[in-house]
Chains A and B, each alone.
Chain A
Amino acid sequence: DSGVTQTPKHLITATGQRVTLRCSPRSGDLSVYWYQQSLDQGLQFLIHYYNGEERAKGNILERFSAQQFPDLHSELNLSSLELGDSALYFCASSVRVSPNNEQFFGPGTRLTVL
């Protein structure tokens, strides 16, 4: 158990819908990262927040947005869902911003878009 929690574990929805994925980092960790794992794209970095501020963006679609709240939990919002958005979404946390810090991953949320 990494100490990072993600809810829900599974999510099934329809095209065009909007969903929210939630992540709680390990106690004391200020950085939260979101990654998408799909069969065709592999594991890809989406976005990084540190202490409430956006730090870096990767291959994140405009239909996707995220935020980190004062209690440090983070939410990833996916809207106008398409079949291709079906994937495993991971949240990871680390103590600080430095790339030297290992990132601890949550169990993931499996999103299925029908």
Chain B
Amino acid sequence: AQKVTQAQTEISVVEKEDVTLDCVYETRDTTYYLFWYKQPPSGELVFLIRRNSFDEQNEISGRYSWNFQKSTSSFNFTITASQVVDSAVYFCALSDNTDKLIFGTGTRLQVFP
């Protein structure tokens, strides 16, 4: 069965600290896709990144970076020099052959000034 685990329920940091959000997934498929979404206090879900199972290259986008490791079934998300506007719930999700997204339970990040 497919499953996504985000063990960190809530993380609090002070502005400018780096923070890593963990994501561990389970799937029997060899082809699958991993996603991160952000849900700010306003409630909408904002797409951040997609990664397929054949591409283990890490990705950096501004202050955001993602580390994909198939050996540990992890797809972790790091925010460098966090800002108050980064405060949100972050969801990791998995998509295999079934089109649907399987979400983790989310990690609430609070960045204090």
- Residues of A near any B CB (own CB < 8 A): 2, 31, 33, 35, 42-45, 48, 55-56, 58, 88, 90, 92, 97-100, 102-108, 110
Stretch at the interface among B16-24, B57-65, B69-77, B89-97: B89-97
A-B contact pairs, 15 of them (CB 8 A): A33-B99, A33-B100, A35-B101, A42-B103, A42-B104, A45-B102, A58-B100, A99-B33, A100-B50, A102-B35, A102-B50, A105-B37, A106-B44, A107-B43, A108-B45
Instruction: Please state if B97 and A42 are interface contacts (CB–CB under 8 Å).
Output: no
Chain A interface SS verdict (over half):
strand
**Interface range on chain B (Cβ under 8 Å from partner):** 20 to 34
Q: Please, how many angstroms separate the alpha-carbon atoms of A42 and B45 in the complex?
A: 13
> A48–B91 Cα gap in the complex (Å)?
20
A105, B95: Cβ atoms closer than 8 Å: no
B14 shortest CB reach to chain A, Å: 28
Interface centre among A35, A90, A103 (most CB of B within 10 A): A103
